[in-house]
Amino acid sequence: EPLFDFGSGPRNTAIFSPSGRFLALAGFGNLAGKVEFWDKKLRVQVGEATMSCTTMYSWSPCSRYFLSATTFPRLRVDNCYKVFKHNGDLVLNEQMGSDYVYQASFRPAKPELFEDRPASPRSAFALRNGEGRKIDLSKVHAAGSNLTDVALQSRMAEKKAVYRPPGMRNTAASFTLHEKEEARAVDSKTFRATGSSVARNVLL
């Protein structure tokens, strides 16, 4: 029986950060380049990004950044390198124009020099669990490894009501494809009617 299910998707690559906390699940090569970032210890998805045409990739020694590069000779056009945060935010985008990128990598360093930290909070509701529901990040940090309670509370939370303008509240919803008007007097100077009634279509 699996301990955790990451769900299905267009993926062919899985790479852990040096600290072992973050996991990148990606679809490179002939796939679209979608990358999901997961916190393995908390078992939540912390972000995602699209890295099209990636031919080289790696984690930084501190496990906080992810490098994606399009290199020669695999691709002769659109060579570039990009750096993303562990939550998918783009922090560097270097397009080389007509120049080539042969290799891109982080400067080596010992991973033990860096503290193992969870994902940084971007907002009050930044993390998502495996089902795509948002989780209060402060509760995640407080729960630690006991994330099941937080996920359960998230699933049981009521969905927010759809916003309705004040004038439309407490009124029954109505839907009409066609609206007809009875025949009425028409000013011949501005409009000439050619029938006994005037009909119009109303698009909602």
Contact between 44 and 128 (Cβ < 8 Å) = yes
Task: Give the helix/strand (H/E) hosting 13.
Answer: strand 13-16
Structural domain spans, the chain: 13-156
Quick: pLDDT tens for 18-50.
999 999 999 999 999 999 999 998 889 999 999
Longest dimension (CA), the chain: 88
* Adjacent-strand bridge partners of 90: 84
pTM for this entry: 0.61
Cα distances from 181 to residues 90, 116, 199, in angstroms, run 56, 71, 6
Quick: pLDDT tens for 130-164.
444 445 544 444 444 444 344 444 444 434 455 66
